[in-house]
Amino acid sequence: MAEEKKPGGGMTVREAGRKGGQKVRDERGHEFYEEIGRKGGEAVRDARGHEFYEEIGHKGGQKVKELIEAGKRRAAAPPEPPPKKEE
């Protein structure tokens, strides 16, 4: 969908976004992204509070725990035989 070229346009939405992002990076530099990230984090903190960060941190930790446990179960399970080739 976003990859479709428009007649007469010459570039996709994705290409235009990439090009615009590169221009901002070249004009404003890395510090610009640090600043807007900090401002965004502060806005979320002010709107949702410290508890929000505790909650999403806990959720992230639980997901990591689940992935580690799944990996351990997979490593302990006997290997599956390769699929048979049909001739």
Taking the domains of the chain in order of start, what are their residue ranges?
13-74
Neighbours of 22 (CB within 10 A): 10
Residue-wise pLDDT tens digits, 15-72: 999 999 999 999 999 899 999 999 999 999 999 998 998 999 999 999 999 999 999 9
| DSSP of 56-85 | HHHHHHHHHHHHHHHHHHHHHSPPPPPPPP
